Amino acid sequence: MPNHLQERDKEVVWHPFTPLLQDLPVLPIRRAKGVYLYTDSGRAILDAVSSWWVNIHGHSNEYIAEAISRQARELEHVIFAGFTHEPAVKLAEGLLNILPSRQAKVFYSDNGSTAVEVALKMAFQYWHNKGGARTKVIALEGAYHGDTFGAMSVGDRNAFVQPFKPFLFEVSSLPFPDGENNEALMARFRKLVDTGEVAAFIFEPLIQGSGGMRMYPAAVLDELLRIAREAGVICIADEVMTGFGRTGRIFASDYLQHQPDIFCLSKGLTGGTMPLGVTTCTEEIQAAFRDPDIMKTFFHGHSFTANPLACAVANASMELLLSDDCQSSIARIAYQQSLFADRLSDHPKVQNARSLGTIMALDIRTEEGTSYFNSKRNRLYTFFLDKDILLRPLGNTLYILPPYVIKEEELDRIYSAIEELLDKL
């Protein structure tokens, strides 16, 4: 039976990625702690997807809550044009210290999509400021970089963007590296960059999140980056999902020999507590904007740019992330996820069981094939929710992406539920 809050919600709230005429009710959450979400009715739901991949230290983390409280009593917000504050400077220093080499400047925004928008505008204006004519972008097929117009343009032209296709700018796409198309992939990439028209190459390093948790080797991306660098193409790493330990290292780009020119960060940046986006760039990129000509200024900003509360939270989250305890937890989860992927590798109802760091995914074998719109999606979702486990499938793709505070027995509970599902299919 729907409760009063659900009825009120249905009257006035429009939820993301949710049909207005849907059968699945929204669940009122009263509080959360660690890996659990607690409903009004007293259910404890295990958050196995980190509430859309943002939470890395567990819900209602005391250390992070104290950082918010302390900052809120001192400075809640200030315009960031012409002013600065300690949390923003400290965070920028900390990020540049742990990011792969060559990053030199931090630009703040509000979320992952805006971090990508900033990166694209930065790349386009870099060439404009230098008097160049490079205006084209290369992206991987199946990519997802956000829901604003620039981010949609460099993402996959799928059903989500059909109503907006006439308004998106042209992008050249590369086939997703599948282990068998490397030669054709590299040939197409070389042909595109050899035109001298390509401004930037944007990618999700090593794993496409919303595209179905599709994973590809570091060696392939390294070769693409090498070719791009030789052609002077700006390389943009969208580490919104993969950053802050998700792949087993602080950044997925830590697996690479050749490093990007621009990074986009969000999600785990604040431990999943507050919205914040970051775009970083090299000295070479920013040098094109350091000019007495005011028209070469990067005219971009947001009302809540570098919000002190969000920056203070991000600083606290980074301290936790870099601690020995957290790094040990990441290694433990990665090992456990790898073992489970191996266990399911030969299961007749599973395709492509895979893991990378703390991320584990598998495709349920169906006659429809693998798709976000696979009809099995709602059945899978409700099966786990009935067991008080939050797994939000990407169609017939199941994935586990937990907070780092999850215990071994809690992961085993998720694995047992998945195996029970497979037995019943």
Look up the pTM and report it: 0.97
Tell me the domain boundaries of the chain. 4-60+325-424, 65-321
Dihedral (CA of 44, 403, 240, 109) sign: positive
Eight-state DSSP code of residue 1: -
201-223 per-position pLDDT tens digit: 999 999 999 999 999 999 999 99
Neighbours of 351 (CB within 10 A): 18
What's residue 2's pLDDT?
Answer: 61
Q: Which class in CATH covers the domain with range 65-321?
A: alpha beta
DSSP 165-208: GGGSPP-EEE----SS-HHHHHHHHHHHHTTS-EEEEEE-SSEE
186: left (phi over 0), alpha (psi -120 to 50) or beta: alpha
Cα 119 to chain centroid distance, Å, stands at 15
Dihedral (CA of 27, 31, 36, 39) sign: negative
Nearest to residue 266, comparing CAs of 247, 244, 281, 245?
244
48-78 per-position pLDDT tens digit: 999 999 999 999 999 999 999 999 999 999 9
Which of these CATH numbers, 3.40.50.720, 3.40.120.10, 3.90.1150.10, 3.30.230.70, describes 4-60+325-424?
A: 3.90.1150.10
What's residue 374's pLDDT?
Answer: 83
275-289 per-position pLDDT tens digit: 999 999 999 999 999
Nearest to residue 207, comparing CAs of 159, 162, 249?
249
Nearest to residue 209, comparing CAs of 279, 264, 282, 137?
264
Dihedral (CA of 143, 147, 153, 157) sign: positive
What's residue 21's pLDDT?
Answer: 87
Residues of the chain with pLDDT under 50: none
